[in-house]
Amino acid sequence: MISLMLIVLLVIVLYFYGTRNFAYWKKRGVKYETPIVFFGGIINNFIENISPSERLSNLYRAHPDEKIVGLFEGNKPFVLVRDPDIIKHILTTDFKYFHRRGMNLSNHFTEPLMMNLFFVDDDVWKLLRQNLTSAFSSAKLKAMFPLIVERADKLTQIAKESAEFQDEIDVRELMARYTTDFIGACGFGIDSQALNEENSDFRKLGKRIFKRNLRDVFVALLMAMFPEKFKNLHLFAPEIEEKTFSIVGQIMAQRDYKPSGRNDFIDLLLELRQKGKIVGESIVKRKPDGSPETVELELNDKVLAAQAFIFFAAGFETSSAASSFLLHMLAYHPEIQEKCRNEVDAVLKSYDGKLCYDAVKDMKYLEMAFKESMRCLLSPGFLLRVTCTKYPIPGTDVVLEEGMRVVISLDGLCSDQQYFKEPEEFRPERFHPDNIGRIKKFTYMPFGEGPRACIGERMGVMQSLAGVATILRSFTVAPSRSSLRKPRIDPKSMIVQTILGGLPLALRQR
Ligand code: HEM
């Protein structure tokens, strides 16, 4: 009897502990996603078998009249901001309140790979961003172009073999091999062999980073629900950590730890290594006179390898998702495919048949189609920010406390018919220069916005357009026996949305 009473008592205590914050949004008069004890809303990903992006866009759609909607991750309140005018404040005007992305929920950096530009916040972010931006200048991109062309030639070769011998090919995998090879060459100065060998080391690493297994899902769940208790767990599996440090270490050693003159990411990291530390103005600390304090960051090999890691991970997966999805959309819209191909043919003719930086820049219709396909499927389906101090949300009575997590559903905004008429239709003309001004600002942001927007946007666009133009100049793409018009998002996707079963298409040589 006593033990039964103890169990009942324990259940009651656990229940109250697990629901202690659940009145948070109700008290503030904000509509919210119904939370479940201990898990908050995070469990809906599992119950409904959907990805976090899909869960957030469902929540966005369920509250068409709200500017903000509450939700809970574990016991912690989060806020989904739906209103583009408030979003503008968060991402740009009021950036000083929102320079944190908050990927590291416990704020303890015990995991070396987490020290990358995407995951860090505050002064570490500011110093790294300032010093890494030069890797993506127009001059560097132009200089990289011959490497894109080499990969594009190999891409044609592989696609040719597939067109000859197979009735379908997974273009998601094909473009992943192309972008992996490109990042290997221009970022790391190595021939990763990802295009030649289906299972090259680089491709295997790339697949492992984005193919989450049970261990990854479980660890991410624990870290999201109990950040302090599980702060020593590693989000990235040990094999990812070991492989990254080993690859980057080897390349640096081959260059004798000095910049080699190749001007790639590794050279930039080696230049920073030679400095030993980077110095700049603090984004958080102020002197008594109000001016920013000077801060510095020691650059050890692990911090440098973490930057190489994020350029690799953020660089290949997003671009290959975006370029393969464009091919998929073109396969289902042959008339738009024809228009893109005619443009590719005409532009290449004016450049003596050579694919080059300026030629890709002239493919305006292809770029419109690319933008529209990114609207239809966003690689990262949401943006994250965290308040650095208390923040009264403009146009509402709600004041966000310091440390409040803010999410913006890119998917929700891009499929909202208020902003995009008949959003399910694939219409590149939405992005025609005559129409683009009609798109409400801060509703279309596949690369994010403001000072924390994607650092590699131009590189991502350039390599994606070059890859798609390469396919279109030699092949037609069409749905194949296992294509699905509306492919299913992998429920295990974390930030970048991956597609279950890939994107099979039939390639035919012209
Ligand atoms: C089509 C290709 C790409 C897409 C759709 C994409 C999308 C994004 C998005 C949505 C963000 C978050 C922005 C925000 O929070 O406001 C981001 C950040 C980032 N991306 Fe990309 N990206 C692409 C290509 C690349 C490439 C090629 C690289 C590098 C080689 C890269 C590196 C990064 C990094 C380092 C960040 C974090 C920036 C910071 O916090 O300062 N991305 N990207």
Centroid of ligand 1 to alpha carbon of 314 (angstroms)? 6
150-169 average pLDDT score: 88
Average pLDDT of the chain is: 89
What's residue 37's pLDDT?
75
| Annotated binding-site ranges for heme | 454
Length of the chain: 510
In this model, does residue 109 exceed pLDDT 70? no
* 3-state secondary structure labels for all residues of 103-152: CCCCCCCCCHHHHCCCCCCHHHHHHHHHHHHHHHCHHHHHHHHHHHHHHH
Distance of CA 446 from the midpoint of ligand 1 (Å): 9
* Closest Cα to atom 43 of ligand 1: 454
User: Token pair of 375, please?
Assistant: 């609207």
Could you tell me the CA-to-CA distances from 260 to 145, 275, 460 in Å, in that order? 19, 16, 24
- The three-class DSSP label of residue 479 is strand
Residue 104, pLDDT above cutoff 80: no
**Any atom of ligand 1 within 6 Å of the Cβ of 98:** no
Q: Hey, what are 455's tokens? A: 């650092």
Question: Does 196 score more than 80 pLDDT?
Answer: no
SS3 state at 344: helix
Q: Which of these ranges, 14-23, 74-83, 445-454, 459-468, has the smallest mean pLDDT?
A: 14-23
Range among 175-189, 368-382, 489-503 with highest mean pLDDT value: 368-382
- Indicate whether 460 pLDDT > 80: yes
Residue 26 has pLDDT above 80, yes or no: yes
For a substitution probing ligand 1, which of 303, 318, 375, 459 has the most ligand atoms within 8 Å of its CB?
Answer: 318
Q: How far does residue 149's CA lie from ligand 1's centre (Å)?
A: 23
Ligand 1: nearest atom to the Cα of 322 = 1
Asked if residue 19 is part of any domain, the answer here is no
| Region 66-86 average pLDDT | 94
Q: Please tell me the distance between residue 495's alpha carbon and the centre of ligand 1 in angstroms.
A: 11
Q: Is 118 in the pocket of ligand 1 (CB under 6 A)?
A: yes
Give the pLDDT confidence score for residue 378 in this predicted structure: 93
- Nearest of 354, 364, 383 to residue 447 by alpha carbon: 383
d(C-alpha 102, C-alpha 407), whole Å:
11
SS3 299: coil
pLDDT value at residue 268: 87
Ligand 1 binding pocket mutation candidate from 210, 447, 463 (most atoms within 8 A of CB): 447
pLDDT at position 445 is: 98
For tokens 């290959």, the residue is 320
Residue 448 in contact with ligand 1 by CB distance below 6 A:
yes
Inter-CA distances, 110 with 104, 114, 194, 335, 481, Å: 10, 8, 32, 53, 48
Mean pLDDT in residue range 318-335:
96
pLDDT in tens, 400-454: 999 999 999 999 999 999 999 999 999 999 999 999 999 999 999 999 999 999 9
Q: Total structural domains in the chain?
A: 1
Task: Please state the atom number of ligand 1 nearest to the C-alpha of residue 116.
Answer: 35
Say which residue, 458 or 18, is predicted with more confidence.
Answer: 458
> Is the residue at 18 inside a domain?
no
pLDDT digit string (tens) for 244-303? 888 888 888 888 999 888 778 888 889 889 988 999 999 999 999 989 999 999 888 889
User: E strand or H helix at 338, and its extent?
Assistant: helix 334-350
Question: Is the model's pLDDT at 164 over the cut of 80?
Answer: yes
Q: Using CA atoms, how far apart are residues 401 and 73, in angstroms rounded to an integer?
A: 16
Q: What is the pLDDT confidence band of residue 174, given thresholds at 50, 70 and 90?
A: very high
Instruction: Give the per-residue pLDDT at 358.
Output: 94
Name the residue with the closest Cα to ligand 1, atom 19. Answer: 454
Q: Rounded to 5 degrees, what angle do the CA atoms 196, 347, 379 make?
A: 55
**Residue 343's pLDDT is what?**
98
Q: Is the CB of 160 under 6 A from ligand 1?
A: no
Burial status of residue 265 (CB atoms within 10 A of its CB: 0-12, 13-18, 19 or more): buried
What distance, in Å, lies between the first and last C-alpha atoms of the chain? 80
Q: What is the pLDDT of residue 58?
A: 94
Backbone angles phi, psi at 362, to 5 degrees: -85, -5
Domain ranges, residue 349: 48-509
Q: How far is the CA of 157 from the centre of ligand 1 (A)?
A: 29
Cβ 380 under 6 angstroms from ligand 1: yes
Confirm whether 325 is domain-assigned.
Answer: yes
For ligand 1, say whether the CB of 406 is within 6 Å of any of its atoms.
no
The model's confidence at residue 335, banded by pLDDT at 50, 70 and 90, is very high
- The band of 474, judged by pLDDT with boundaries at 50, 70 and 90, is very high
pLDDT for res 132 = 92
Task: Pick from 454, 458, 498 the residue to mutate for probing ligand 1's pocket: most ligand atoms within 8 Å of its CB.
Answer: 454
Residue 352 has pLDDT above 90, yes or no: yes
CATH of the domain at 335: 1.10.630.10
Is residue 41's pLDDT more than 80?
no
CB distance 467 to ligand 1 below 6 Å: no
Residue 247 counted as domain residue: yes
- Structural domain includes residue 30: no
Q: Among the ranges 88-102, 194-208, 222-236, which has the highest mean pLDDT value?
A: 88-102
In a domain, 17, yes or no: no
The CA–CA distances, whole Å, from 149 to 178, 185, 198, 466 equal 11, 11, 20, 8
Ligand 1 centroid, distance to 394 Cα (angstroms): 28
Q: Report whether pLDDT(194) > 70.
A: no
